Amino acid sequence: MFNISRIKKGIIHLRIGLKLIILVSIATVLIVGAILIFYKPTYTVSYNGEFLGYTNSKGDLQAKINDYVTDGNGENNIAFVQISSMPQYEMCLLKREVVTNDEEIYNKIIQSGVSYYKYYTIMLDGEEKYYVATQDEAQSIINQLKEKDSNNIDKIATVEKYNTSLVEFANVDTCVSELYEEKPKPVVVKTNNNKTNIKSSNGAIGSSKNVNNTSKKVDLGISLIEPINGRISCRFGNQGSYYHTGLDIASPNGTPIKAAANGTVTYAGYHYSYGNLLIITHANGVQTYYAHCSKLYVSVGTSISQGQTIAAVGSTGNSTGNHLHLEIRVNGTAQNPQNYLY
């Protein structure tokens, strides 16, 4: 049988417990309500250990700071702003009469940052010449110089820059006008020895070219091998609008180029219309030129063995496709490479 007295006692205890819970809940609500009458939940804000003030919404304040750090709110070509650290937040109860100061906190934090400006540099032969604000302006300068067939187009480049100070910008028309260089017009002089002396005013290697335009073969006194295998795309001689002082052999980009003979590297670098150029000086005043290379594997002063890989085929300089421009010169006079090779 059930113990009636025990059940009654349990019900009494349950009622007492519920009353206590209700009383505690009411007391808690009253206490919290009383606190909220005089205080409000907020956040203290500190930066690098310094107390800056209070904010009601750390999310809104931090989002505003993040936007400024990302791009400076798009002001004055600012790319981003670097600050030493982000602010620290701690929740607290603040008396209602105390005012929060989000704008003051924001200004103090961004004033401590370092702004980095983004712009584009127009380079001429590795030297900074002009600055423009946008990539579109930089590309417009390059495109206009290409359309004008500027003689120095291969030496002009654009570089994206970041700096803590803003530079003075030039306009596109000024850059194009100042950078444009007219191509030199060759002067052809016939001499009594059946050689054509071609002179140019740009001072490049081979600009004063003595060309053996006869079919007479000069004895080199050394043996040569073919630097690459490939299809001849342009032969030595008069091409109508210009005189071609070498032999063009078409081959895929990166094809290894071998030295035609033993010798010493006397030039290795970028040179005007030749692009990446390698010159090897051999015995008896013989030189071989390897132009438009994508890569040069040897440097000036290096002793070279016949058949040694010295460079790779490319299309640098004044070039319309991947090929090797090969020249053979004897005491400075260009000879027809097909008298000796291919």
Render pLDDT for 15-55 as a digit per residue (tens, 0 to 9): 777 778 887 787 777 766 656 667 778 999 999 989 999 99
DSSP assignment, residue 30? H
Comparing 134-143, 199-208, 304-313, which segment has the lowest mean pLDDT? 199-208
Q: Which two tokens stand for residue 291?
A: 């132009």
Residue 239: what pLDDT?
80
Domains, the chain: 38-112 (no CATH), 118-179 (no CATH), 217-339 (2.70.70.10)
Q: Give the count of beta carbons closer than 10 Å to the beta carbon of residue 124.
A: 15
Long-range pairs of 188-197 with CB within 8 A, sequence gap ≥ 24: 188/243, 195/333, 196/243
128 in Cβ contact with 138 (< 8 Å): no
pLDDT (tens digit per residue) in 54-92? 998 999 999 999 888 887 776 777 888 888 888 999 988
User: Is residue 329 a contact partner of residue 289, using CB atoms and an 8 Å limit?
Assistant: yes
pLDDT at residue 200 tops 70:
no
Query: Which residues touch 41 (CB under 8 Å, ≥6 apart)?
Result: 91, 92, 93, 94
**pLDDT score recorded for residue 314:** 95
Calculate ∠ Cα 303-306-312, nearest 5°. 85
Q: In this predicted structure, what is the pLDDT of residue 204?
A: 40
C-alpha 233/C-alpha 254 separation (Å) is 17
Question: What's the rounded Cα separation, in Å, for the pair 278 and 325?
Answer: 11
Query: Hey, what long-range contacts does 171-174 have (CB within 8 A, 24 or more apart)?
Result: 171/132, 172/132, 172/137, 172/140, 172/141, 172/144, 174/130
pLDDT, residue 166, reads: 80
Using CA atoms, how far apart are residues 265 and 278, in angstroms rounded to an integer? 7
Report which of residues 59 and 5 the model is more confident about. 59
Whether 188 has a pLDDT exceeding 80, the answer reads no
Q: Could you give phi then psi for residue 184, rounded to 5 degrees? A: -70, 145
Supply 341's token pair. Answer: 């090779």
Q: Looking at residue 256, what is its pLDDT?
A: 96
Q: In the predicted model, what is the mean pLDDT of residues 204-212?
A: 58
> What's the pLDDT score for residue 31?
67
Where is pLDDT greater, at 5 or 231? 231
What is the helix (H) or strand (E) element at residue 33, kind and residue range? helix 4-38
High-pLDDT (> 90) share of the chain, %: 43
Burial tier of 271 (Cβ tally within 10 Å: 0-12, 13-18, 19+): buried
Question: Which residues make Cβ contacts (< 8 Å) with residue 260, sequence separation at least 6?
Answer: 224, 225, 226, 227, 280, 288, 306, 326, 328, 341
Compute the distance between CA of residue 214 and CA of residue 40 in angstroms, rounded to an integer.
100
Q: Is the pLDDT of residue 305 over 90?
A: yes
Cβ proximity of 305 and 262 under 8 Å: yes
For the chain, what is the mean pLDDT? Answer: 84
Token duo for residue 136: 């579109």
DSSP-assigned states of every residue in 113-170: SEEEEEEEEEEETTEEEEEESSHHHHHHHHHHHHHTT-TTGGGEEEEEEEESSPPPP-
Q: Under 8 Å CB-to-CB from 289, ≥6 apart: which residues?
A: 206, 246, 274, 277, 278, 279, 325, 326, 327, 328, 329
Give the pLDDT score at 216: 83
| Residue 193: per-residue pLDDT | 42
Residue of 260 and 204 predicted with greater confidence:
260
Rounded mean pLDDT of 265-269? 91
Query: Residue 199 pLDDT > 50, yes or no?
Result: no
Say if CB 71 and CB 79 are below 8 A apart: yes
Compute CA 41 distance to the chain's CA centroid, rounded to the nearest angstrom: 50
